[in-house]
């Protein structure tokens, strides 16, 4: 099984997803990204492409371990092209202010020709120190620095194949003195850039890695430069490749024409060396997607079938999981993150765990089971026969508020591993008392009806102090049979 070591632990990866914007170009929806089910998730570092729209560290934390489960969260960054919608772009660089305008004298030396397929972007001389300074620098003000600061596990480096453009495709009129003279030199400069970029990030996060997109032939084009080959393999956590099986001139749903030569290179240069290959083809239709997934998996790669080249939506994983885990009218299992979350069930008999943080949890309709977890949680069962679970260690910061406990329908569940002086099963009447303290040595659970506070007393009327575990409404007709020890 493929695993990645990250700053927050080891993550198993069988699936991946890729989204760079919201539907129709809208900003990305944080709540949806938090609930994404993909083991490795590639997104832009910003909800709308701007610096002001960058995801916060808390938002990235939720994406890494939230409603959708544990994920490696990777930020997209283009290292081979500059785009006019990014904040580093200066309108004075072209006559129109956009990438398609004619370059002015204000344009930096590293800015190259327009990409005809993506006219909002221009090729860059990625080896130029000033361009690299835009990506990362000692002041830690570059785009990569912002990615690392936000807590992303890795960077997804797009336009790695820019090395091939400068080494083999650039027109004579677009060449400058000092540009690479061939593919090998261009590949060497790209590898040096990627290695320097990653090493810079690892000064802050030693577990940081990169996933280059495209550039499948870069190790081959290095020729006999074994030192750079090894340096490249040491910093990448995988390689991603587009349009490997369904290829053609259309944006989506091109004919099936597997690039067998590149597939063989990917196996030889990466898979055989323990580097995973992530494949994204832009296709839709169940038959086409099923065939794609089978072919990719058979070749030892990890597939993601994106329905649109604009990458404005996630779809389910190749192994059948939905794109998101979201509350439904059915019986759901929902989870929070390590931070303060707001989780609401709908209909159905839901199981909801807040995990860490001061969470607000609502079961909605149905017979729900609510676990607040660590933190001062607010729990609302809603209609139905609900269960409120207490299974965390005693602490002043672990006292939950149960808003709507119904003595006619609901129950409080106590974990025997925590409440060790209580035998498993229904709470005995002799172990329950209403008052402010234990009346005899057998009293274990105390309900103060004036305040609604519930206490656990491990030694009854002994010397040990009772510990508050929850607060319910005051003046409830609470009884021993409202508790169950498990």
Chain-centroid distance of CA 224 in Å reads 38
Instruction: Note the pLDDT of residue 111.
Output: 98
Angle formed at CA 393 by CA 391 and CA 394, multiple of 5 degrees: 115
Overall residue count recorded for the chain in this entry: 486
Within 13 Å, how many C-alpha atoms sit on residue 456's CB side? 21
pLDDT-flagged residues of the chain (< 70): 462
Tokens for 158?
Answer: 């797009």
- Tens digits of per-residue pLDDT, 279-311? 999 999 999 999 999 999 999 999 999 999 999
**CATH 2.150.10.10 is right for the domain spanning 333-485:** yes
Q: What is the pTM of this model?
A: 0.90
From residue 305, how far is each of 210, 284, 294 by CA, in Å?
A: 21, 7, 12
Instruction: Note the pLDDT of residue 460.
Output: 81
Name which CATH class applies to 2-80+126-306: alpha beta
- Tens digits of per-residue pLDDT, 98-143? 999 999 999 999 999 999 999 999 999 999 999 999 999 999 999 9
CB 436 within 8 A of CB 446: yes
Q: Domain spans of the chain?
A: 2-80+126-306, 333-485
Instruction: Note the pLDDT of residue 472.
Output: 98
| Residues 6+ positions from 219 with CB-CB distance below 8 Å | 229, 232, 233, 269, 270
CA distance 406 to 385: 8
Instruction: Note the pLDDT of residue 125.
Output: 99
């Amino acid at each position: 099984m493929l695993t990645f070591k990250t700053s927050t632990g080891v993550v198993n990866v069988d699936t991946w997803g890729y989204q760079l914007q919201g539907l129709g170009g809208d900003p990305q929806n944080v709540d949806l990204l938090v609930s994404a089910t993909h083991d490795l998730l590639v997104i832009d570092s910003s909800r709308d492409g701007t610096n002001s729209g960058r995801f916060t560290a808390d938002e990235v934390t939720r994406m890494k371990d939230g409603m959708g489960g544990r994920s490696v969260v990777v930020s997209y960054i283009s290292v081979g092209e500059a785009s006019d919608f990014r904040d580093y772009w200066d309108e004075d660089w072209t006559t129109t202010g956009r990438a398609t305008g004619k370059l002015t004298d204000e344009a930096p030396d590293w800015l190259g020709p327009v990409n005809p397929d993506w006219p909002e972007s221009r090729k860059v001389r990625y080896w130029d120190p000033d361009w690299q300074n835009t990506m990362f620098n000692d002041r830690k003000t570059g785009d990569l620095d912002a990615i690392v600061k936000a807590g992303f596990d890795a960077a997804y480096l797009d336009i790695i194949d820019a090395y091939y453009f400068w080494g083999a495709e650039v027109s004579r009129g677009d060449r400058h003195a000092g540009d690479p003279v061939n593919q090998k030199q261009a590949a060497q400069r790209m590898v040096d850039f990627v290695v320097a970029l990653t090493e810079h990030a690892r000064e802050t996060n030693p577990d940081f890695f990169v996933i280059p997109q495209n550039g499948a032939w870069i190790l081959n084009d290095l020729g006999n430069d074994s030192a750079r080959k090894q340096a490249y393999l040491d910093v990448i956590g995988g390689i991603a490749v587009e349009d490997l099986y369904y290829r053609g001139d259309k944006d989506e749903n091109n004919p099936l024409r597997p690039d067998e030569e590149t597939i063989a290179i990917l196996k030889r240069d990466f898979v055989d060396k323990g580097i995973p290959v992530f494949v994204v083809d832009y296709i839709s239709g169940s038959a086409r997607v099923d065939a794609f997934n089978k072919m990719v998996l058979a070749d030892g790669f990890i597939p993601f079938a994106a329905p649109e080249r604009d990458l404005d939506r996630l779809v389910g994983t190749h192994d059948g999981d939905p794109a998101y885990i979201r509350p439904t009218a059915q019986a759901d299992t929902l989870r929070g993150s390590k931070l303060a979350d707001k989780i609401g069930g709908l209909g159905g008999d839901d199981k909801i765990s807040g995990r860490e943080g001061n969470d607000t949890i609502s079961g909605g309709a149905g017979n729900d089971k609510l676990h607040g977890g660590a933190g001062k949680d607010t729990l609302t069962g809603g209609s139905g026969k609900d269960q409120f679970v207490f299974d965390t260690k005693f602490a002043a910061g672990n006292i939950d508020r149960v808003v709507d406990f119904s003595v006619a329908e609901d129950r409080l569940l106590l974990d025997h591993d925590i409440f060790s002086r209580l035998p498993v099963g229904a709470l005995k009447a002799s172990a329950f008392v209403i008052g402010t303290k234990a009346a005899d040595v057998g009293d274990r659970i105390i309900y103060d009806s004036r305040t609604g506070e519930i206490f656990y007393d491990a030694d009854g009327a002994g010397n040990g102090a009772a510990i508050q575990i929850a607060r319910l409404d005051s003046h409830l007709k609470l009884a021993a049979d409202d508790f169950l020890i498990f």
